[in-house]
Structure 1
């Protein structure tokens, strides 16, 4: 009973220290608030604008603030910009999160296997990783989307297949540090299956850097999706921040708000993710 009480007290102290670190980290709080606002806008989109955001709902080129029904104005086709931004947030967040999940599955799996087994397995997997890294990620994604035809699934696959190498190298380095620790060697000597050692003993100790990297990967995925949509390779059936910026560039000199407002949405989402990633790096760093 005394041991359980001590363990509970230690767990409580750890949680208190973690909460104190979070409260003291301005970067993490600011990034979290920005992301919550973006998420709230995405969730509110079907309620505030239940129709198709690609529908023409008013006269073209209504400037922001001049019509209460269209607070952010309309574009050259009479589409509501506020509706496009909020619905575009849903698309960007879904693509960013799912593509990052694909990258994490590939990167963590290859990095863990490479670091745990070493030898030929490590050599082969790292050569594959280096081969993928030699190809510019955006051009690789561009080629994949062009081949598969622009759609949300093809964009997710393209981003997921191009963003994992850096994560794989990070996980490999972490596994190499943990691989020779006593608790891992004890499990190996007891005949515990390797997959159990990797999943239950090693990977939980690599969560901190993976979580930090995941926030950066989501930001990169949003930027990549926006860039593809800007070039006309986004899903034509959904509203997209990049697609709105791409359409607005034609009237940038006369009606700058058409491209600027969705561009600011991209900046806000990416800034929030980067600030959150920096904050998490400080909070989860055991050296601090």
Structure 2
């Protein structure tokens, strides 16, 4: 019996990479994923080229205050109320906003995947502790929780990323737990147990790869949510004052919104484009990796 199971596993092994290659091909054939990918590449290119195009400090006063876009070729997007170059702020702000979003999402994914797998695979006390933790975190609105953490720890890039990551993991963890419970008693795991595989090997080789689809979809949406959360915190005055970020620019620009709307709208448009790109990619991932698509 074990030999037959092993033979079936070996025979089916090449099919999984082929299915994944086909899924990635369908992903980039998806109009929404393609459009989101192009938009996201533009934002990433802006972040990568910020130091080359605008080598100075984006927080330095570069020209006269409230210079309207198009009035000076050296400052194509104008300046804010302190004379800071808005274009430089947008490019450098992309770095800060994407960095906070990436770090907070990585932290949330690590916590969510680890907690969900532990609860779903081992059950018992681990599942009860997991249930209590997720209930506690989900009782308090995540934005208010993040706001309290940042206010106590003092606003900085590290504290903002930590606060967003700590408050974002429960929803993903519940999703991973549900997937693990579905796989735990499936034929693949039972076959591995019959072959004498250890729990660690089963988790790494059988369960973890099959939870990647919901994790990828959720992670793309979590990055978008993290950007919005960072912007909201900065809008309320809890952004890192020592770096340029889109949220800080929106928060500062609101003071002159009636007369010089561009100072607030331009960084808001940058936030909107990035969030739209990530949501389009998430929609593409959800559609392509939907199990019903492979049937």
**The TM-score by the shorter chain falls in which range?**
over 0.9
Supply the distance in 1 between the matched residues of 2:238 and 2:277 (Cα, whole angstroms). 25
Which position in structure 1 is the counterpart of 2:74? 69
SS at match of 1:60: coil
TM-score, normalised on structure 2?
A: 0.92
1:184: how far off?
1.1
1:147: how far off?
0.9
Which position in structure 1 is the counterpart of 2:141? 136
- The C-alpha deviation readout for 1:84-107, integer Å capped at 9, x for no partner, is 011000001111011000001100
TM-score, normalised on structure 1?
A: 0.94
Ranges in structure 1 where 5+ consecutive residues have no aligned partner: 1-5
Which position in structure 1 is the counterpart of 2:130? 125
The CA RMSD measured in Å over matched residues stands at 1.9
Which position in structure 1 is the counterpart of 2:109? 104
The reply to whether residue 223 of structure 1 matches residue 228 of structure 2 is: yes
Supply the distance in 1 between the matched residues of 2:63 and 2:87 (Cα, whole angstroms). 13
The reply to whether residue 167 of structure 1 matches residue 172 of structure 2 is: yes
Which position in structure 2 is the counterpart of 1:213? 218
- The C-alpha deviation readout for 1:161-217, integer Å capped at 9, x for no partner, is 000000000000100110001221233344433222212210111101100000000
Supply the distance in 1 between the matched residues of 2:227 and 2:21 (Cα, whole angstroms). 34
Q: Give 1:239's match in structure 2, choosing from 231, 241, 244.
A: 244
CA spacing shift, 1:245–1:141, aligned 2, 3 Å: same
The reply to whether residue 279 of structure 1 matches residue 276 of structure 2 is: no
CA spacing shift, 1:135–1:173, aligned 2, 3 Å: same
Supply the distance in 2 between the matched residues of 1:187 and 1:244 (Cα, whole angstroms). 54
SS at match of 1:163: helix
Which position in structure 2 is the counterpart of 1:3? none
Which position in structure 2 is the counterpart of 1:260? 265
Supply the distance in 2 between the matched residues of 1:63 and 1:109 (Cα, whole angstroms). 50
Which position in structure 1 is the counterpart of 2:52? 47
1:122: how far off?
1.2
Which position in structure 2 is the counterpart of 1:59? 64
Supply the distance in 2 between the matched residues of 1:108 and 1:201 (Cα, whole angstroms). 14
CA spacing shift, 1:17–1:164, aligned 2, 3 Å: same
Ranges in structure 2 where 5+ consecutive residues have no aligned partner: 1-10
The reply to whether residue 94 of structure 1 matches residue 99 of structure 2 is: yes
- The C-alpha deviation readout for 1:216-258, integer Å capped at 9, x for no partner, is 0000111111111111111111001111111111110000000
Which position in structure 2 is the counterpart of 1:36? 41
Supply the distance in 1 between the matched residues of 2:59 and 2:268 (Cα, whole angstroms). 18
Supply the distance in 2 between the matched residues of 1:242 and 1:221 (Cα, whole angstroms). 11
Comparing 194-203 with 274-283, greater Cα deviation is found at 194-203
1:120: how far off?
2.8
Supply the distance in 2 between the matched residues of 1:183 and 1:21 (Cα, whole angstroms). 26
